[in-house]
Amino acid sequence: MKESLIFGKKKVVTGNHAVSYGVLLSRAEVIAAYPITPQTQIVELLSEFCASGLLKAKFIKVESEHSAMAACVGAAAAGCRTFTATSAHGLALMHEMLHWAVGGRLPIVLANVNRSMGPGWSVWTDQNDSLSQRDVGFVQFYCESNQEVLDTTIQAFKIAETCLIPVMLVLDAFVLSHTSEPVDIPYQEDVDQFLPPYKPKYFLDVNDPRAFGGLTSPDHYYEIRYKIEEAHRKALKVAEEVDNEFYQIFGRKYGLVEAYQCEDARLVLVTSGTITGTARQVIDEERSKGKRVGLLKIRLFRPSPIHLIKEILTKVEKVAVIDRNISFGHSGIFSQEIKSILYNEIRRPMIFDFVIGLGGRDVVPDDIREIIDFTYKADYPQEMVYFRGVRL
């Protein structure tokens, strides 16, 4: 693989390979991974980059995802920039070590390809795998396009290392992971300028022997947790700064959320992941028919960009949240988030929740149109959650 054929070119790549290029450009130093569909292509390409010497990283081929995160924990604690990728059951198996990465304040970057949880076995997309990890303390980004995937991968390392918290970037199985789009691959020197080498203040150093993660009494534990919360609050600012800085160098930015056609909107859809792209098109059509509809894309899920969501959604009458996930016995998870953010506002919209597309069932423009029509016509949500397209 020749550098001149990769960097500074527009290439047609899958979402998975967009992650791999992002990790290559970010000069990850230790990668540990275990195969799982639909993630595997990410690490296959990375193993080729390592084998060819293009990426001077050590790739540990572990025996499980639990060990993948554990190896990253060890390598990051010893001072290296580390990366792993997984999906669904792999992420679930990692759960314990996700806590370790957060508690250890290790800036590991993880790409999760959203895949539905079994049984029954499904390799197709929904968000329950990553949303089940909501409370471990990882930063979570949901991506819409392959370009955004590559750019977010690079941004992820910078945010993680600035705030000392791990970052998970999330992309939809197949709809992004295996779909090719034209992607600008930046020049290495530009990425080097944006993302300097990782130099932690504290690491496993034989010349400065310390113990990490030992027994912590109630006298200290709470404060250490509070500092993680502080890091998340910092990350909210840092993510915005990093996005702006990225724009200065690469000419692209995404925002923590994106308000699309929201200026005079009466009804706003809330979306994440690739459903956003479908919804954008429908919003354009509805606008051309004179309907005052808009779209709020949630890109950064944790830390929650509460101020931005409030700013946009307190100005509208109705909100329709599209959830490709479910918290059984309650409702879609994004809708719970939106409701909790707006509850104490004096002016707040009616919030409708639509669960759709579980297990990778297609979400097509007609689905979005129906959701808009339904929400438009209803005075208020009579159900906590509406299940779209259930065939019983």
Partner 1 sequence: MKWQYANNTEEYMNPGHLACPGCGGAYAMRLALKALGKNTIVVIPACCWSIIDGPFPLHCIKVPLYHTAFETAAVVASGIRAALEVKGKRDIEVLAFAGDGGTLDIGIQALSAVCERNDKIIYACYDNEAYMNTGIQRSSATPYGAWTTTTPREDFKKERKKNITEIIAAHRIPYVATASIGFPDDLIVKFKKAKEAKGTAFIHIFAPCPTGWRMAPELMITIAQLAVDCKIFPLYEVFDGVKYVINYQPKNIPVQEYLKLQGRFSHLTEEEIEIIQKEVDFNWELLVKKAKG
| Closest distance to partner 1 from the beta carbon of 43 (Å) | 15
- What residues numbered 264-283 form the site for partner 1, per CB under 8 A? none
Tokens of 329: 């016995």
Cα 94 off chain centre by: 17
Q: Is 52 an interacting residue with respect to partner 1 (CB under 8 A)?
A: no
* Binding positions for partner 1, 200-239, rule CB under 8 A: 204-206, 208-217, 220
- Residue selected from 54, 66, 369, 387 as contacting partner 1 according to rule CB under 8 A: 66
Nearer to partner 1, 220 or 307 (CB): 220
Q: Nearer Cβ to partner 1, position 39 or 67? A: 67
Q: Distance between CA 343 and CA 349 in Å, rounded?
A: 10
**Choices 59-67, 156-164, 312-320, 353-361; region in contact with partner 1 by CB under 8 A:** 59-67
Provide the mask over 162-201, with x wherever binding to partner 1 is found by CB under 8 A and - wherever it is not.
----------------------------------------
The structure tokens 């990790």 sit at 23
Q: Count CB neighbours of 204 within 10 A.
A: 15
Given the complex with partner 1, which of 61 and 310 has the nearer CB atom?
A: 61
Q: Give just the sign of the alpha carbon dihedral 34, 35, 41, 44.
A: positive
Place of tokens 């700013």: 311
Q: How far apart are CA 88 and CA 116, in angstroms?
A: 6
Instruction: Compare residues 221 and 247 and give the one whose CB is closer to partner 1.
Output: 221
**Which C-beta is closer to partner 1: that of 199 or that of 289?**
199
Nearest distance in Å: CB 224, partner 1: 8
**Residue 111, strand partner residues:** 85, 169
Interaction of residue 61 with partner 1, rule CB under 8 A: yes
Shortest distance in whole angstroms from residue 61 CB to partner 1: 7
Q: What is the CA radius of gyration of the chain?
A: 21
Q: Which of residues 72-131 bind partner 1 (CB under 8 A)?
A: 72-80, 82, 96-97, 100
Q: How far apart are CA 367 and CA 287, in angstroms?
A: 17
Nearest CB to partner 1, comparing residues 10 and 56: 56
**Taking a C-beta distance cutoff of 8 angstroms, is the pair 260, 312 a contact?**
no
Paired with 257 in beta bridges are 298
263: left (phi > 0), else alpha (psi -120 to 50), else beta?
Answer: alpha
Q: Which 3 state secondary structure label does DSSP give 78?
A: coil
Please check whether residue 375 is in contact with residue 286, taking contact to mean a CB–CB distance below 8 angstroms.
no
Report in angstroms how near the CB of residue 100 gets to partner 1 at its nearest. Answer: 6
Judged by CB, which is closer to partner 1: 76, or 269?
76
Q: Give the binding site for partner 1 (CB under 8 A).
A: 29-30, 32, 56-58, 60-64, 66-67, 70-80, 82, 96-97, 100, 204-206, 208-217, 220
